[in-house]
Amino acid sequence: MNLEKTWQAIPRLAPGVLILALIQVCAVARSAETGDSAPAPVPPVADPCPRSFAARDVVQNPPALFSSNGVLNVRFSYQHRIDANNREMLCFMTPEGLQNPTLHVSPGDHLIITVTNNTPALPLTMTVNPPNCGASSMGPSSLNLHYHGTNTSPTCHSDEVIKTTINSGETFQYNVAFPADEPPGLYWYHPHVHGQVEHAVQGGANGVIVVDGIENVQPAVSGLRQRLLIVRDQEVPGEPAPVGNVPAWDVTLNYVPILSPGDPGVTDFVPASLQMQPEERQFWRVSNSCADTILDLQYVFDGVPQTMQLVGIDGVPVGSQDSTQPGQPIRVRHFRLPPAARVEFIVAAPPASVQLAQLITRGVDTGPIGDNDPQRPLATIKLVDVGDAALVHGAAAGVGANQGRDDGRVGVFSAFNPHQRRFAGLSSAPVAARRTLYFDEKDDASGETTFFMAAEGQPEQPFDPNAPASIVATQGTVEEWTVENRTGENHEFHVHQLHFLVESQNDFEINGAHRAPGITGQYLDTVEVPYWDQNPSHPFPNVKLLVDFRGPDIGNFVYHCHIAEHEDKGMMSVIEVRPPAVAGDSARGMQAIGASPAVGSLK
């Protein structure tokens, strides 16, 4: 860590906090020493967070890094830049100048990320009680990392977000152990400091993680050209009122801006360009890395929706966990993709006779108090006949930055892999407990809204990192959760460390919403629950989920709405998973949180 920067932050603190801060400086130094030696800071990189693409530009795969010999070592400098519209752009830069690279790992690998927070210090506004992981006070410039969707440990230096704080000038090292049975597919990383998630994600500080090997679980994708497509959202310049075609947020596709009628001088949406060779089939791996924008993806030829062959949802190949292997791809004509969800599907290039082929997001009815997410094109397909690298990486870019490896095509099927079935048997496992959780919102006298991720039978509380867990579950069990929406806008249920089986989507239509296609019976980490129409005689829309605690991960972690604005304003809560031997020992789960990486050996 950089002591100089820490000292700069201290004068802003009250004397009592100063002593605490000093204690924490020592604690951070100690925690940094849990490895062989303290990690060396990653210096700031020149020209950070480039957003150099213009409207209509050709979509390129992001730069990519690959693990070797079971380890992917990454060094990140967390930086910012203010753009021409006075928006703060945020990013993770490697010393070589790669921005938010795609991180390729294999099941069983370790992802080791050394990250230095090189953003300017801002006042620390919230104290997090011990046990801490890193600093004990957080504020608008604090950082940590969440490895969304990965079935990894919620312990310090792994995928822990409640107590992990990396303040300006500090350096922290993650060592995230991917389980050997991790399903191959698309995951992502983003900052997860409470209250700061929307700003960091909209600043663009995120990238995707690919657990490689999907071709040996679902051979339908063998050798296909793969497109990693990352949709992000950001403020519309000038923040015009979001009505009609003016969206609540603008979006980008791999940082190519999708201009909207909300932008100065723009009257219609301007999509990016996406290249395909004539007659080819491509494997599109789409991450909704927006903070707030709900997507409803559709692939359209001259106004006619085309078949999308779903291969994976939220990192899990469809049909891969149960019944006959390999699972059958699911054919849909649109796919609802809430913020933080991922979907992977095969599409065919348009015939030459098609005038206009586009990937669009349909308009989303987010409810009477929700955002305006109008229909808009994301990319227009351009048929070209150029080589692999130029097609995926653009004419100018090569694959040299990717350690000499090309991520332009998924691997070629070699032998069927039956080992990535982490959730097999979930649907027939006995249910140990049933719970009802619900989304709620309350306005105070000033009109400020607080958001709640509540559990039936308990008082509603906004998220507090210092509060005890709302739910205690036992490792080795399976629970059935009903998640209800009791508000007038859509919410997106996400739980860390594990996936759930979507059993059913209920009472959507009576409230004016539609069930999402393709997801019932699949294993997700993020699921949408549409708005309640406020008619007291109508039941709350809800989803029924089988939640899988049979894995090795114990400790405290969070579940929340993944519309980041809602999460930041309180719609999050903590679950504690206790090993069966010590169920009833209330201190045990907390110990797991602040402990050194050695706690990972509990696994």
The binding site for Cu ion (CB under 5 A) comprises 491, 561, 563, 566
Closest approach of Cu ion to the CB of residue 334, in Å: 22
Closest approach of Cu ion to the CB of residue 126, in Å: 21
Question: Residue 293 contacts by C-beta under 8 Å, 6 or more apart in sequence?
Answer: 231, 233, 247, 248, 249, 251, 339, 371, 373
Please, which residue, 255 or 451, has the CB nearer to Cu ion?
451
CA dist., res. 482 & res. 497, Å (int) = 19
Burial pattern 518-530, b for ≥16 Cβ within 10 A else e, equals: bbebbbbbbbbbb
Closest approach of Cu ion to the CB of residue 439, in Å: 6
Please, which residue, 103 or 563, has the CB nearer to Cu ion?
563
Please, which residue, 151 or 485, has the CB nearer to Cu ion?
485
Closest approach of Cu ion to the CB of residue 252, in Å: 22
Contact between 59 and 226 (Cβ < 8 Å): no
Closest approach of Cu ion to the CB of residue 561, in Å: 3
Closest approach of Cu ion to the CB of residue 454, in Å: 12
Closest approach of Cu ion to the CB of residue 315, in Å: 21
Contact between 216 and 414 (Cβ < 8 Å): yes
Closest approach of Cu ion to the CB of residue 443, in Å: 15
Please, which residue, 230 or 561, has the CB nearer to Cu ion?
561
Q: Is the dihedral of CA 302, 306, 311, 312 positive or negative?
A: positive
Contact between 161 and 142 (Cβ < 8 Å): no
CA dist., res. 44 & res. 135, Å (int) = 21
Contact between 155 and 593 (Cβ < 8 Å): yes
Closest approach of Cu ion to the CB of residue 159, in Å: 21
DSSP string, 36-102: SSPPPP----SS-S-----TTPBP-PPPEEE-BTTEEEEEEEEEEEE-TTSPEEEEEE-TT--BS-E
Which of left, alpha, beta for 505 (phi over 0: left; psi -120 to 50: alpha)? Answer: beta
- Helix, strand, coil shares of the chain, percent, nearest 5, are 10, 35, 50
Please, which residue, 51 or 491, has the CB nearer to Cu ion?
491
Give the helix/strand (H/E) hosting 313: strand 308-313
Closest approach of Cu ion to the CB of residue 324, in Å: 37
Closest approach of Cu ion to the CB of residue 205, in Å: 21
Please, which residue, 225 or 491, has the CB nearer to Cu ion?
491
Please, which residue, 23 or 369, has the CB nearer to Cu ion?
369
Please, which residue, 111 or 454, has the CB nearer to Cu ion?
454
CA dist., res. 406 & res. 68, Å (int) = 15
Please, which residue, 155 or 485, has the CB nearer to Cu ion?
485
DSSP string, 359-406: EEE--B---TTS--B--EEEEEEEE----HHHHHHTTT--STTTTT--
Nearest to 524 by CA among 373, 423, 420, 416: 423
Please, which residue, 362 or 494, has the CB nearer to Cu ion?
494
Rounded (5°) CA angle 66-407-254: 100
What are phi and psi for residue 214, nearest 5 degrees?
Answer: -65, -25
Burial pattern 548-563, b for ≥16 Cβ within 10 A else e, equals: bbebebbbbbbbbbbb
Please, which residue, 163 or 491, has the CB nearer to Cu ion?
491
Which two structure tokens, joined as six digits, stand for 207?
Answer: 């990238």
Closest approach of Cu ion to the CB of residue 231, in Å: 18
Please, which residue, 204 or 338, has the CB nearer to Cu ion?
338
Which two structure tokens, joined as six digits, stand for 520?
Answer: 């019932």
